[in-house]
Amino acid sequence: MPLLTKNDCQTAEAFSTLAFCNPFLPERVDCEKRILGRATRDEQRVWSARVDDTGANKTLSMLQDKAEALVQTMRAEANRKEGVTPREQQLYEDVAAYVLYYRFQNRFLDLIEQTPDAAFTVKYRRVTFFDAFHADANRLLNRFPGRESLSRQDVAHLFACFFQVRRAFHHIFRCIFGGSMTAARLRAAVWQSIFTHNMRRYRQYLYDRLGDMSVLITGASGTGKELVARAIGLSRYIPFDPDAEAFAADWQTSFHALNLSALSATLIEAELFGHRRGAFTGAEEAHAGWFEACGPHGTVFLDEIGDANQHVQIKLLRLLESRTFSRLGETEPRTFNGKVIAATNRDLGAAMEEGAFRQDLYYRLCADTIHTPPLHEQLADSPRELENLVRHLCERIAGGEHAESLQKEVTDWIEKNMGRNYSWPGNVRELEQCVRNILIRRSYKPPVRQGVPSRGRFAGLHEGRFTADELLNQYCAHVYEQCGSYEEAGRRLRLDRRTVKRRVTASRQPTRQTPAKETNIR
């Protein structure tokens, strides 16, 4: 006799999927609907932060009630039945783990939102609710005969995994804004970068291995590359010590960012690798660099990696290959155990062809890649998303009390003076400055684009003055100017990036415009 009825078994299967799925894809909402048998979250296709969020999520509350009841049913039936199958036991454990996580998710959130205190960091702070978690874990998960009891270390690992999940959701949900499917796919890509596509496998044995895998983030300026890097870096797995009842590291101080385009090569090396006293002029004291200070659970973020010179690239390659480095002026090897995330708005494929970026370094960096989409793609996918993004920026700039009236003023001005089809070449950063300009002067003047203006580029089109080849060259150049990347332009045009680059180069040559053919009328 089966442990569950057909309907309860289907519900348990849905909870099992829900416990391990990517929360930022439509599959999460589909699972919720299968369980509750109704539309959820006002028919939102994906989970995204909205400025009109009003507090507690009723869907989550209903799901928790359903899961608690299902666990009780499965436990009662298990007492009356002999020979529970491995699949039934696995389903029970998945639903019970779901229940356990949501019983404690608000306490994890309180821990995340605690104000950092330099004198008393999270690393040394005793987590007071671990004993309660341990007791509930044993009551929920040690249910079936013959199953070994969870050790305190097993519970500590589960506790660390749940805290990581809550941190990851917090940083992705709150920092990567937008209700479009384009924004949802970006959030989902960040989640997958943290946990891989198989969270069950991640929890079993990958949780302490992903630090060896670098991440490369590409995208135009203003598309949120640092937000993506920060979300990944602040969401790494941190072990929990069940004896000290404290985490092994402080996630709040684990992310170290350096913009490589803002410093000279010597300063970049000193900041990253450290230096001994007297290693160069001005080095009056020994200095530990970010790679040394990072620690095994930390992350070093290298922004604008495409601007690094060849010498820095070689040193970074050695660090990624051997996981060792030396301070400037020293030969003693030191070990780096953290994670590296790099970002660039440059076309690294073209840079490698030109010899400006090392191919071997590129392949060390791109174990995982994420592309941040431009703003116009989000708006094309969901035109009404402009109001949501503007409202979010208004709350940040003017405060929540006045955000609604400012948002209407800004969106009305944009529609009247720029139109819904404006491409926002500066992306969210440009939109933010537009909001500030309208707040101050009630107007915004977009920057003048460099290069040939689009209208000038296509002057003579209607008169038939271009050959087909010349027209394609000019259009490739136009798309390249919009996105700033041969790779992205190739994706949009469905051409190889090398073809795009060749045509962009050709577009800069003098164009032979064919005069319109005259017709003799007699």
The token duo for 126 is 């005793």
CATH number at residue 356: 3.40.50.300
User: Does 38 fall in a domain?
Assistant: yes
User: Does 466 fall in a domain?
Assistant: yes
- The 3-state DSSP class for residue 141 equals helix
What's the count of helices (H) and strands (E) in the chain, helices before strands? 22, 9
The answer on pLDDT for 162 being more than 60 is yes
Whether residue 501 is found in the same domain as residue 388: no
Whether residue 291 is found in the same domain as residue 167: no
What is the per-residue pLDDT across 355-385, written as a single tens digit (0 to 9) for each?
A: 999 999 999 999 999 999 999 888 988 888 8
What is the per-residue pLDDT across 495-520, written as a single tens digit (0 to 9) for each?
A: 998 899 899 888 877 655 444 444 44
Whether residue 366 is found in the same domain as residue 385: no
Whether residue 267 is found in the same domain as residue 328: yes
Q: Where are the beta strands (DSSP E) in 181-277?
A: 215-218, 240-241, 246-247, 255-259
Say how far apart CA 192 and CA 219 lie, in whole Å: 18
Whether residue 410 is found in the same domain as residue 482: no
Whether residue 66 is found in the same domain as residue 162: yes
Whether residue 40 is found in the same domain as residue 172: yes
Q: Which domain holds residue 496?
A: 454-507
Whole-number pLDDT of residue 513: 47
CA dihedral 444→445→446→449, nearest 10 degrees, is -170
**Distance in angstroms between the alpha carbons of the first and the last residue of the chain:** 98
Q: Are 75 and 143 in contact (CB under 8 A)?
A: yes
Whether residue 137 is found in the same domain as residue 236: no
Say how far apart CA 68 and CA 98 lie, in whole Å: 9
pLDDT band at residue 478 using 50, 70 and 90 as cut-offs:
confident
Whole-number pLDDT of residue 343: 97
Mean pLDDT of the residues in the chain? 86
Whether residue 46 is found in the same domain as residue 14: yes
User: Does 514 fall in a domain?
Assistant: no
- Percent with pLDDT over 90 in the chain: 54
Among candidate residues 160, 260, 172, the one with its CA nearest the CA of residue 207: 160
What is the per-residue pLDDT across 68-106, written as a single tens digit (0 to 9) for each?
A: 999 999 888 877 777 778 888 899 999 999 999 999 999
Q: Of the ranges 65-74, 78-87, 348-357, 463-472, which one carries the lowest mean pLDDT score?
A: 78-87
Domain count for the chain: 4
Among candidate residues 470, 456, 460, the one with its CA nearest the CA of residue 503: 470
User: Does 522 fall in a domain?
Assistant: no
pTM exceeds cut of 0.95: no
The token duo for 329 is 């002026």
For residue 472, count other CB atoms closer than 10 A to its CB: 17
What is the per-residue pLDDT across 197-214, written as a single tens digit (0 to 9) for each?
A: 999 999 999 999 999 999
pLDDT: which is higher, 519 or 455? 455
Whole-number pLDDT of residue 45: 59
Among candidate residues 281, 262, 260, 258, the one with its CA nearest the CA of residue 328: 281
pLDDT band at residue 26 using 50, 70 and 90 as cut-offs:
confident
User: Does 152 fall in a domain?
Assistant: yes
∠ CA 256-24-29, nearest 5°, is 160
pLDDT band at residue 322 using 50, 70 and 90 as cut-offs:
very high
Burial class (CB in 10 A: 0-12, 13-18, 19+), 105: middle
Most distant CA atoms of the chain, gap in Å: 104
Whether residue 153 is found in the same domain as residue 170: yes
Backbone torsion region of residue 464, taken as left when φ is above 0, otherwise alpha when ψ lies between -120 and 50, otherwise beta: left
Whole-number pLDDT of residue 54: 44
The answer on pLDDT for 170 being more than 50 is yes
User: Does 295 fall in a domain?
Assistant: yes
User: Does 218 fall in a domain?
Assistant: no
User: Does 198 fall in a domain?
Assistant: no
Q: Which of 162, 177, 192 is the last residue of a domain?
A: 177
Whether residue 301 is found in the same domain as residue 246: yes
Burial class (CB in 10 A: 0-12, 13-18, 19+), 35: buried
Q: Which of 394, 416, 441 is the last residue of a domain?
A: 441
Whether residue 250 is found in the same domain as residue 271: yes
Q: Which of 331, 353, 373 is the last residue of a domain?
A: 373
- Percent with pLDDT over 70 in the chain: 86
What is the per-residue pLDDT across 230-243, written as a single tens digit (0 to 9) for each?
A: 999 999 999 999 99
